[in-house]
C-alpha cells in the first residue's frame, strides 16, 4: 500500500500521516545519507530542500538539518555565521 508503513514494534500498518513524531526526520536523514554516498559532490543545501519537500519536514526540522549538515562544514565556524 503506497504511503503506508509497518510499525516495527507492533507490526501495525500505519498511514504516512500517522507516523510517530520524528519519523519523517529520521527517514530524511537516511535518504540524505544515501544521496550523499551516491553523489559526494552534490549540493547539500539543495538535497535538504528536496528532503524537506519529499518527507514533509517542518521548517524547524529543515533548519536542524541545515545547521547540522551545511553550517557544520564551514571550516572554523561553529556559530553558523559566514
Residue 43 in domain:
yes
Give the domain extent around 77.
Answer: 19-82
Instruction: Provide the pLDDT for residue 39.
Output: 94
Residue 5 in domain:
no
End-to-end CA distance of the chain: 45
pLDDT tens digits for range 4-55 = 545 444 555 555 555 557 899 999 999 999 999 999 999 999 999 999 999 9
Torsional sign, CA 71, 45, 49, 81: positive
Instruction: Provide the pLDDT for residue 75.
Output: 63
Residue 1 in domain:
no
pLDDT tens digits for range 56-72 = 999 999 999 999 988 87
Domain count, the chain: 1
d(CA 13, CA 34): 25
Residue 4 in domain:
no
Instruction: Provide the pLDDT for residue 17.
Output: 54
Instruction: Provide the pLDDT for residue 13.
Output: 54
Amino acid at each position: 500500500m503506497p504511503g503506508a508503513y509497518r510499525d516495527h514494534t507492533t507490526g501495525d500498518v500505519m498511514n504516512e500521516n500517522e507516523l510517530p513524531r520524528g519519523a519523517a526526520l529520521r527517514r530524511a536523514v537516511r535518504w540524505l545519507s544515501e544521496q550523499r554516498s551516491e553523489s559526494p559532490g552534490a549540493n547539500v543545501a539543495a538535497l535538504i530542500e528536496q528532503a524537506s519537500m519529499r518527507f514533509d519536514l517542518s521548517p524547524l526540522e529543515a533548519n536542524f538539518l541545515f545547521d547540522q549538515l551545511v553550517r557544520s562544514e564551514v571550516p572554523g565556524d561553529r556559530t553558523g555565521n559566514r
